[in-house]
Amino acid sequence: MANGVDGSLRISQLDANQLDQELLSLVRTQFHRIFPYSQTPLLTRLDPEITALIKFVIWRFSVFATGASIGQQILKLKYVSTRRRENNSPWMSRKQKLLHGFILIVLPWLKERFNITVDGLGFSGSNTQLKVNKYIEWAEKMLKFAALVNFAIFLQTGVYSSLTERFLGIRPMFPQRQSIRQVSFEFMTRELLWHAFSEFLFFLLPLVNFRRLKSTMSSYFLPQSRQPPTLPHMRTDTDLTMCAVCNQWPNNAHEIGCSHVFCYYCVMSNFMADPRFECPACHKDIPNEFLIRPVKTELNRR
């Protein structure tokens, strides 16, 4: 990369943007989780304000306070002003910070609030409103196109990953120049190996039937532990209240001919994945699907 020496890598800049977005959605989710049972109309109506507030708090303590967004801080980047300032400070000026906040928080909020109000008040029918909407739509399209062009230029030059940065004249850089390229190759190789290994596991693990493997192994190594399957009339209270597969309260309890009880989902999914599935507790097998029946309790039987 040509500008990797004095500037910052494109990939770091994009990663930082990604981290910022993730952070915002994470905080938003956390916030909405505070009110799990009260998604009131008020909260829904105030959603643009809530988002703006969260953005403001994050912005206040990241860009405004330190001159770098959270994602940039994690990647040790910091905004540098590309325009010359009077006091020759390389960092963002106060004006740039405030403008950054305005573009980041207020503009999206205005847009969202305006959209909601327009829909809510039923203005969309009036002529002027239609015209205004058309202009906004057109402006948005132009902006999107400009953003696309900007991004293409960014890929070429590595400066200004967004229109906001180009407009404000700021770009993220590594404040300490030398510290960035010090990642040792040993570390990177290890990281790559682990990554490849975990990818491999993600591919392999779903193909292995662990229940089957476990029962085969235990029958191979501990043959004497195998006892004949228990029978339904030997059923205890614990058997009735616990699924033999997931050890939870059996949901839509079914049985397969032994004393144990299963959630319908547990027994059916296991049986469909592996027709040789047997009861994990007593190794009763299921010769055919019709043996999986709803549990008849003593009450039902009478």
Contacts to Zn ion by CB under 5 A: 243, 245-246, 258, 260, 263, 266, 279, 281-282, 284
Rounded to a whole number of angstroms, the minimum distance from the CB of residue 257 to Zn ion is: 8
- Please identify, using beta-carbon distances, which residue of 20 and 278 lies nearer to Zn ion: 278
β-bridge mates for residue 243, sequence order: 261
Shortest Å distance, C-beta 247 to Zn ion: 7
Nearer to Zn ion, 25 or 251 (CB): 251
Q: Whose Cβ is closer to Zn ion: residue 168's or residue 243's?
A: 243
Integer Cα distance of 244 and 214 in angstroms: 15
Whole-angstrom CA distances from 23 to 26, 30, 57 are 5, 11, 12
Nearer to Zn ion, 87 or 225 (CB): 225
User: Least distance in Å: CB of 291 to Zn ion?
Assistant: 12
| Minimum gap (Å) between residue 288 Cβ and Zn ion | 17
Interior CA angle at 238 toward 235 and 239, to 5°? 45
Nearer to Zn ion, 117 or 252 (CB): 252
Distance of closest approach, residue 209 Cβ to Zn ion, in angstroms: 17
Q: Which is nearer to Zn ion, 101 or 232 (CB)?
A: 232
User: What's the number of CA atoms in the CB half-sphere (13 Å) around residue 266?
Assistant: 23
DSSP H helical ranges for the chain: 10-34, 41-45, 47-61, 63-66, 70-74, 94-101, 107-121, 127-157, 163-168, 185-204, 210-221, 237-241, 264-273, 298-301
User: How many angstroms separate the CA atoms of 139 and 78, rounded?
Assistant: 31
Nearer to Zn ion, 97 or 260 (CB): 260
In angstroms, what is the minimal distance from the CB of 279 to Zn ion?
3
DSSP string, 271-292: HHH-TT-B-TTT--B-SSGGG-
CB 172 within 8 A of CB 92: no
- Give the bridge partners for 293, in sequence order: 255
Distance CA 104, CA 56 (A): 9
> Minimum distance between the CB of residue 238 and Zn ion, rounded to whole angstroms?
12
